[in-house]
Chain A
Amino acid sequence: MSDLFLVGNASGFSGDRVDAAAPVVRTLARRGLPAALFFECLAERTIALAQIEKRRDPDAGYEPMLERLLDPILADCARAGIPILGNFGAANPMAAARCVARLARRLGLPELRIGVVTGDDVSASVDLDALPVHEADAGLDMSAWTLVSANAYIGAAPLAQALGQGAQVVVAGRTSDPSLAVAPLMHHFGWAEDDWRNLAIGAACGHLLECGSQLTGGVFWDPGYKDIPDPANIGFPIAEVGSDGSLLVTKAEDTGGLVDLRSVKEQLLYELHDPSAYLTPDVVMDVSGVTMEQAGKDRVALRGVKGHARPERLKVTACYEGSWLGEGEVSVAGPNALARARATADVLLQRVRQRGLARRARADLIGVSAVHDSDDGALWRAYDGPEPPDIRIRLAVEATSRDDADQAAREVLAMLCCGTAGTSGARWRVTPRILTRSFLVPREMVPTDVTVREARLWN
């Protein structure tokens, strides 16, 4: 067994840069150490949207960029013995495996072993109504909502099992994000399922890497304050994990971005609540006593990660559909823009109210106050600063039907003739809204299944 295992990440969400993987794979191959690569592609709602896709087309419902993500690196990974893991199976891991198999055959790799982990989809197998609600979105009135998806956050063990069966690509649906990094470490070092100390180091590795470039300069750079080299080509992260429990994070060679104490601290605390209790299905990670040290250019070593026994239950997130989001925007600019923008916002809200189109409505003045404002526009209504030269007025509504949402959003269009002087640039759109609820489910209610076979056999 080698002392050191490398874990690379090439995607932090569905929608990430599709050319991120190649420099990571080149670096891993050049280092010549045992290594794995993972893709994180599944935010909370992504799986519900994928489930809706699957309803439309039984062969869809997995990461739409899957082929584009794997095409540049699949052959190189197979050649270098670097297994690939990803939750890119989304709502349809079997169809995703067939997609990978088609790609492998096209690349002349019919023997490539593709593994699929299923069992996360509990929409048909678990009676959610019988379980206590763990967390719920505000205003989720169940009577008006229909269940779209319910998936358990499964842990690393079944993914490691697929690697144990020789899988070179492991396709999963919902897993806990850090588990995608824990699994290859578990498999390589032979960690037991109750080795809390090591599993916590794996979870820390996964937590730091799972958002891709957020460790290496993304969501970090702030011109003049936190500058990074070549932000158009940020290198994605790589972790070095030792059999002695050491953990060091770095990034792909010959790329932009950086890894330093500032970027690692920001990502360590990202989406963390109590630093002494970060819950994953594999272990409870405790980073309250972590220390870190710059161990070279773009290299940061972490010490002091602790682990506690994993939670008894798994988290299941259920997604529901049942309302629509309508959005529309118009612009005003030049003299008296602020007064025209305020009047436009008020008239749009009045129109929606008058026509009874929305359950809730909100207006923003982009250029005055928007992302930090409240639904009642407290900040833009109170604004008394200098007049902005160019303001975009945004209307957003929640409606119970697509038609109401569309009619409300189209009120911005009507402002092209009925609006204040100089109103222009109308754009509008309607999207389905997905709300979520989470439940805690006993582990035995979520059995998982692992299937591994060669690309030529996936049809």
Chain B
Amino acid sequence: MELNDTMVEVPLHRVAHSRAGDKGNRVNLSLMPYDPALYPLLAEQVTEARVLALFAHRGATRCRRYDLPLIHAFNFIVDDALEGGVNGALNLDGHGKSHSFRLLSLAVQVPARFT
């Protein structure tokens, strides 16, 4: 990182992409920075605790992050985030596919040159 590079706060969406999938009442969220150079920084800032907090209002109980450094990707598994899942839920998005964009709304601090 260059010394004079100022840090700016942006939503993850500016610097990374994600896809959500489901299995029962559990959602998986992949997360990939557009620039692999941001991988260590996201590893530091996008923690299991912060991702779990995004789903606290839904009663999520646990978040686990798997790291795939060879392809600069993360895989987050959030338990009990779907209010019953595709079969049990009353909400419009039982599959939870829209939740990739809840993750992408999380704020991160990145060097300005990446934005």
Give residues in A with beta carbon < 8 Å to B: 43-45, 135, 137-140, 219-220, 222, 225-226, 261-262, 265-275, 287-292, 304, 325, 360-362, 364, 366, 370-375, 378-379, 394, 396-398, 433-436
Contact = CB atoms under 8 A, between A and B. Distances in A.
A378 B57 contact: yes
Contacts of B114: none
Contacts of B70: 289-291, 304
Interface string B62-78: 00001010110101010
Contact of A138 (B19, B68, B88): B88
A370 B25 contact: no
A262 B16 CA distance: 10
A397 B90 contact: yes
User: Quick one: which of A138, A270, A290 has the most chain B CB within 10 A?
Assistant: A138
B21 A374 contact: no
13 contacts: A135-B23, A135-B24, A137-B24, A262-B32, A270-B28, A272-B21, A273-B75, A361-B90, A366-B92, A372-B102, A374-B57, A374-B83, A434-B87
**Taking each of B32, B84, B87, which has the highest tally of chain A beta carbons within 10 Å of its own beta carbon?**
B87
B71 A262 contact: no
B87 A364 contact: no
B16 to A, nearest CB: 10
B54 to A, nearest CB: 9
Given A273-B77, A375-B90, A292 B71 contact: yes
Contact of B83 (A265, A268, A273, A375): A375
B23 A288 contact: no
A269 B98 CA distance: 16
B91 interface: yes
Contact of B93 (A270, A274, A371, A375): A371
Interface in B15-39: 17-19, 21-26, 28, 30, 32, 34
Interface of B: 13, 17-19, 21-26, 28, 30, 32, 34, 57-59, 66, 68, 70-71, 73, 75, 77, 80, 83-88, 90-93, 97-99, 102
Contacts, number: 124
Given A290-B70, A379-B57, A398-B90, A371 B98 contact: yes
Contacts of B21: 269-272
A384 B66 CA distance: 35
Given A292-B71, A364-B92, A433 B87 contact: yes
A394 B58 CA distance: 18
Contacts of A372: 93, 98-99, 102
A222 B58 CA distance: 26
A140 B89 CA distance: 12
A226 B19 CA distance: 13
Given A266-B17, A379-B57, A325 B90 contact: yes
List the 7 closest A-B pairs by CB distance, nearest first: A271-B21, A269-B30, A371-B93, A266-B19, A378-B57, A396-B90, A362-B90
Q: Which of B71, B73, B80, B86 has the most CB of A within 10 A?
A: B71
Nearest to B96: A371
A130 B30 CA distance: 37
A201 B70 CA distance: 18
B90 A272 contact: no
A290 B32 CA distance: 15
Given A266-B32, A267-B19, A275-B75, A137 B84 contact: yes
A147 B15 CA distance: 47
Given A262-B32, A394-B92, A45 B86 contact: yes
Contacts of A433: 87
A39 B91 CA distance: 29
